[in-house]
């Protein structure tokens, strides 16, 4: 089962059932407990489009790619699988875009030739925005801007950075040989871009370009700062304080990234062998290497950092001792979350994993207590759910005692069947939902919260729903 169709006025599930011979796509109505099947020559192109505000029904339109006789076209399915063809399609990409005037979602289609079009199926409109388009992004709004203004897109168009309204009207043109850009929504919108291999920045409303750095790439805004790499071949990390316009104190040679978490500065730095080392700098300026190199980092306090090492071990590195204490090995998945009852940090960890299956345990920050929940759980067979009105704390869902049911051509298991179980994080109200379950989705709708799941074998083969 894949995806949930989330509409503000309704709740539908997108279900994909696959076996050794075929793949079938359904839309399941959680209120009526009925489903419809999409045509076999259609494939989901984007998420469903939410309707304009003036539509009072529970409709949505789902953009699908239809392939017939090697020809592609975009069609739209409503929530009852009724198909309407609207626009031809020549490959490349499509993205959803929400309009300010009516909050309805439309489609931006960029074909293989770089022709970018705006498609509004609700009003049956299609409009060419520009040709020769590569990268594009919706215009952000600065926090100090009071007038909404027309919606627009930044485009890399024929080597220039251009700002166009959705009707194609040209508003701004910047640079030559532009290869990348990024926006920063400050009091006034800022846009940094790479043109001819050099870094420039322009600020609203006039967007006059200002040269910043030669031989630069990978610009990124964070807080009140702009970071980038220069020289590009070395990937050397550089950062500018936008409040002063000055470069910050030089980072050590070889530093390629920096990330600040709860007062600690984490830096990745190339060593003499070309691999990466991880360093942490405290607010007092003390810089220390973290060994082993950690990913999935969580800062517990100024002395303790949790993470996973290259060997797949999850534990806590202590700054004061410079030692890494291992709690779980063979880690294949980590899901950190906050216990809404105590505001403490917890981890749902799949460990001792082999062949895409392992043991699922709950690790608590307080005392690092480990509670084993289930064995033989697939890598994609567990989740944490919070914010459900029906229960006062997070829920844990897992597919336990699972066995492989489908293998790929390399002999690797890609699908499993097991027993679906749900319980509260406190351990209360454990419930065995069903057996021979192949997939599931947690439904958050206030009127019909529960588990939608698939049984893909035996006399009970089909879709099932268990209410919370």
The C-alpha atoms of residue 27 and residue 7 are separated, in whole angstroms, by 13
Question: Residue 3 has what pLDDT?
Answer: 47
Phi and psi torsions of 371, nearest 5°: -120, 115
Q: Which two tokens stand for residue 149?
A: 């203004």
Distances (CA, A) of 378 to 190, 401, 418, 427, 453: 45, 9, 9, 21, 15
Q: If you ran DSSP here, which 8-state letter would residue 230 be given?
A: S
H-run or E-run covering 328:
strand 323-328
Q: Give the whole-number percent of the chain exceeding pLDDT 90.
A: 53
Distances (CA, A) of 307 to 166, 342, 347: 44, 22, 11
H-run or E-run covering 442:
strand 431-443
How far does CA 364 lie from the centroid of its chain?
26
Q: Please determine, for residue 7, whether its predicted confidence score (pLDDT) is greater than 70.
A: no
Q: If you ran DSSP here, which 8-state letter would residue 252 be given?
A: P
Strands 395-407 and 413-424: antiparallel
Distances (CA, A) of 170 to 154, 159, 165, 174, 440: 10, 15, 7, 12, 47
Mean pLDDT value across residues 201-217: 96
The answer for residues whose C-beta is within 8 angstroms of residue 202's C-beta and 6 or more apart is 172, 174, 190, 191, 193, 208, 209, 210
The answer for residues whose C-beta is within 8 angstroms of residue 21's C-beta and 6 or more apart is none
Q: Which two tokens stand for residue 297?
A: 């980092």
How sure is the predictor about 414, in pLDDT bands with cuts at 50, 70 and 90? confident
Q: If you ran DSSP here, which 8-state letter would residue 52 be given?
A: P
Question: Residue 22 has what pLDDT?
Answer: 63
pLDDT-wise least confident of 7-16, 277-286, 402-411 = 7-16
User: Which residue shows structure tokens 């991880």?
Assistant: 278
The C-alpha atoms of residue 134 and residue 184 are separated, in whole angstroms, by 20
What 149-158 contacts at long range (C-beta under 8 Å, 24+ apart), as own/partner pairs, is 151/99, 151/100, 153/108, 153/116, 153/129, 154/181, 154/183, 154/191, 155/116, 155/129, 155/130, 156/180, 156/181, 157/130, 157/131, 157/132, 157/133, 158/131, 158/132
How far does CA 128 lie from the centroid of its chain?
29
Question: Residue 91 has what pLDDT?
Answer: 66
How sure is the predictor about 170, in pLDDT bands with cuts at 50, 70 and 90? very high
Mean pLDDT value across residues 81-110: 82
Question: Residue 101 has what pLDDT?
Answer: 79
Domain ranges within the chain, ordered by starting residue: 4-251+343-467, 252-329
Question: Residue 303 has what pLDDT?
Answer: 93
Q: Please determine, for residue 8, whether its predicted confidence score (pLDDT) is greater than 60.
A: no
Q: Please determine, for residue 1, whether its predicted confidence score (pLDDT) is greater than 60.
A: no
How sure is the predictor about 391, in pLDDT bands with cuts at 50, 70 and 90? confident
How far does CA 274 lie from the centroid of its chain?
29
How sure is the predictor about 156, in pLDDT bands with cuts at 50, 70 and 90? very high
Phi and psi torsions of 398, nearest 5°: -150, 150
Q: If you ran DSSP here, which 8-state letter would residue 319 be given?
A: T
For residue range 186-198, list pLDDT tens digits in order: 888 999 999 999 9
Question: Residue 406 has what pLDDT?
Answer: 84
Q: Please determine, for residue 417, whether its predicted confidence score (pLDDT) is greater than 70.
A: yes
Task: Give 445 or 197, the one with higher predicted confidence.
Answer: 197
Q: If you ran DSSP here, which 8-state letter would residue 325 be given?
A: E
Mean pLDDT value across residues 238-257: 90
Phi and psi torsions of 232, nearest 5°: -65, -40
Let me know: does 189 contact 183? Beta carbons within 8 Å. yes
Let me know: does 154 contact 173? Beta carbons within 8 Å. no
For residue range 304-362, list pLDDT tens digits in order: 999 999 999 999 999 999 999 999 999 999 999 998 888 889 999 999 999 999 999 99
The C-alpha atoms of residue 294 and residue 308 are separated, in whole angstroms, by 5
Q: Please determine, for residue 87, whether its predicted confidence score (pLDDT) is greater than 70.
A: no
The C-alpha atoms of residue 46 and residue 40 are separated, in whole angstroms, by 17
SS3 234: helix
Sheet arrangement for strand 217-222: 217-222, 225-229, 237-241, 246-247
For residue range 281-290, list pLDDT tens digits in order: 999 889 999 9
Mean pLDDT value across residues 208-223: 96
The C-alpha atoms of residue 184 and residue 188 are separated, in whole angstroms, by 9
Q: Please determine, for residue 6, whether its predicted confidence score (pLDDT) is greater than 50.
A: no
How sure is the predictor about 93, in pLDDT bands with cuts at 50, 70 and 90? confident
Sheet arrangement for strand 10-18: 4-7, 10-18, 23-29, 34-37
For residue range 9-58, list pLDDT tens digits in order: 456 777 776 655 567 788 888 777 788 889 888 888 888 888 887 776 66
Question: Residue 461 has what pLDDT?
Answer: 85
Question: Residue 175 has what pLDDT?
Answer: 97
The C-alpha atoms of residue 390 and residue 218 are separated, in whole angstroms, by 45
Q: Please determine, for residue 2, whether its predicted confidence score (pLDDT) is greater than 50.
A: no
What 254-258 contacts at long range (C-beta under 8 Å, 24+ apart), as own/partner pairs, is 256/229, 258/227
Q: Please determine, for residue 148, whether its predicted confidence score (pLDDT) is greater than 70.
A: no
Tally the residues of the chain. 468
If you average pLDDT over each of 104-108, 146-150, 417-421, 426-430, which comes out highest?
Answer: 417-421
Mean pLDDT, rounded, of the chain: 88
Question: Residue 146 has what pLDDT?
Answer: 61
């Amino acid at each position: 089962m894949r995806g949930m169709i989330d509409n503000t006025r309704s709740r539908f599930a997108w279900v994909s059932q696959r076996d050794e011979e075929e793949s079938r796509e359904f839309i399941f109505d959680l209120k009526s407990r009925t489903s419809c099947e999409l045509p076999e020559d259609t494939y989901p192109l984007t998420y469903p489009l939410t309707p304009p505000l003036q539509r009072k029904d529970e409709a949505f339109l789902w953009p699908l790619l239809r392939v017939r006789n090697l020809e592609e076209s975009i069609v739209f399915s409503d929530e009852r699988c009724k198909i309407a063809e609207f626009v031809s399609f020549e490959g490349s990409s499509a993205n959803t875009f929400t309009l300010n005037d009516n909050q309805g979602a439309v489609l931006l289609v960029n074909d293989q030739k770089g022709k970018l079009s705006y498609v509004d199926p609700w009003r049956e409109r299609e409009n060419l925005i520009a040709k020769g388009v590569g990268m594009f992004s919706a215009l952000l709004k600065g926090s100090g801007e009071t007038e909404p203004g027309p919606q627009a897109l930044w485009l890399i168009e024929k080597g220039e950075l251009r700002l166009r309204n959705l009707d194609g009207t040209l508003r701004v043109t910047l640079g030559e040989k532009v290869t990348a850009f990024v926006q920063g929504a400050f009091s006034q919108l800022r846009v940094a871009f790479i043109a001819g291999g050099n870094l420039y920045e322009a600020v609203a409303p006039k967007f006059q370009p200002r040269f910043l750095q030669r031989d630069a790439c990978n610009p990124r805004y964070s807080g009140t700062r702009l970071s980038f790499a220069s020289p590009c071949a070395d990937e050397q990390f550089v950062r500018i304080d936008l409040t002063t316009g000055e470069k910050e104190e030089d980072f050590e040679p070889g530093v390629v990234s920096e990330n600040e978490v709860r007062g600690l500065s984490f830096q990745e730095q190339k060593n003499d062998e070309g691999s990466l080392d991880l360093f942490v700098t405290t607010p007092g300026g003390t810089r220390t290497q973290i060994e082993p190199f950690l990913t999935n980092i969580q800062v517990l306090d100024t002395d303790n950092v949790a993470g996973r090492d290259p060997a797949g071990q999850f534990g806590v590195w202590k700054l004061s001792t410079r030692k890494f204490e291992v709690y779980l090995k063979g880690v294949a998945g980590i899901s950190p979350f906050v216990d809404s009852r105590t505001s403490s940090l917890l981890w749902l960890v799949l460990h001792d994993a082999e062949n895409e299956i392992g043991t699922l345990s709950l690790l608590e920050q307080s005392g690092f207590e480990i509670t084993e929940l289930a064995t033989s759980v697939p890598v994609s067979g567990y989740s944490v759910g919070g914010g459900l009105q029906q229960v006062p704390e997070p829920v844990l869902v897992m597919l336990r005692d699972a066995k492989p049911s489908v293998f790929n051509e390399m002999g690797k298991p890609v699908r499993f069947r097991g027993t679906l179980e749900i319980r509260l994080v406190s351990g209360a109200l454990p419930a065995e939902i069903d057996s021979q379950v192949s997939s599931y989705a947690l439904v958050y709708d206030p009127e019909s919260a529960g588990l939608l799941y698939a049984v893909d074998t035996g006399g009970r083969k089909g879709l099932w729903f268990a209410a919370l």
